Amino acid sequence: MNAAAFDSIARELGAGGICCERVSALKGRTTFRLGGLCPLLIHCERPEQLGQTVDLLHCTGTRFELIGGGSNLLVSDRGVDCPVICYATDVPEVSHEGLELSVSGSTSLDAVAGYAVEHGLGGFVNTSGIPGTVGGAIVGNAGAFGWQVGDALVSVDLLDRDGVRETVGPEALGLSYRDSHLKRMRQIVQGAVFRLCGTDPAAERAERQRILELRASKHPDLSMFSCAGSFFRNIEPTSAAERRQAAGYFLDKAGAKAMKVGGAGVYEKHANIIIKDSDDCSAQDILDLSQLMAAGVHEKFDIELIREAQLLGDFDDAGIASDRV
């Protein structure tokens, strides 16, 4: 697709109030703060904007990629050669009726946790402090402390790449630990409904504060460190670990904290968190370091780590198409 075609798309979407940036650096849209250019970056904050954008791109035969909050994403230094939709908002779209909470896929997961706490809705507080959007959280079935978003999910509004809409229940998503069919189907979560439970707001506020403090003690402050949180999934019970265990434990024992590739290093307080350790760090450095770390765990424990962070764009490795390192 040529520049004139991208200009035409940007003008049409802009006329509808959708913000577009031509030839934009993707590093500004990820918590790794890494990544090359895309020819057109389209900002969609609300479900109707997302639907309008996907409809236009489908009608014009334009291939595109989609990102959310960029907190679980590593973008290639080469960027991507097609438009990228950023479906995220700083203004949460969330409401509730009784115990059912409706939210846009663009809303941050932590904002939903805060809303639920303040409105006396229990069952979502464990997501406090987890970066990223609701849409991304459902695709990856995110969670913490033994709880996953799929546990409270009632329905999901999906949009496919051809603009077809459907609402499905959680049973259609193939939800499992940090995974769902959505990763392979490449459908987009426009919005979702969760069913929560009644709770004491004061107790829930105290629990949220405890969780936020706990995360702050173990995880990097994203305003100071460029990273994507835990890079690998925890170890499944079907592996040599026999039960689910923290990947960080095995990485620590394998000496991951001392590993470094180019400008990429490992966070001193958490062996499963790769950080951009210098200004000259590249996305390729991050991926190469992750493979070195995974190889160390495999050699020492005969355990295969599975990457939790998602990749976008081309890297110097033929085996990056799957989640497996």
By annotation, the residues acting in catalysis are 178, 230, 308
- Calculate the CA 311 to chain-centre distance: 11
Q: How far apart are CA 3 and CA 174, in angstroms?
A: 39
Report the C-alpha gap between 163 and 67 in whole angstroms.
Answer: 17
Distance CA 93, CA 89 (A): 8
Coil, helix or strand at residue 63: coil
Q: How many CA atoms lie within 13 A of 295 on its CB side?
A: 7
CA distance 110 to 128: 5
Alpha helices in 26-120 (DSSP H): 47-59, 109-118
**Separation of alpha carbons 160 and 259, rounded Å:** 40
Question: Where do we find the tokens 């998503």?
Answer: 173
Phi and psi at residue 35, to the nearest 5°? 130, 150
Query: b/e for 140-151, b at 16 or more Cβ within 10 A?
Result: bbbbeeeebbbb
Q: Is 159 left (phi over 0), alpha (psi -120 to 50) or beta?
A: beta
Residues 6+ apart with CB under 8 A from 233: 177, 178, 247, 305, 306, 307, 308
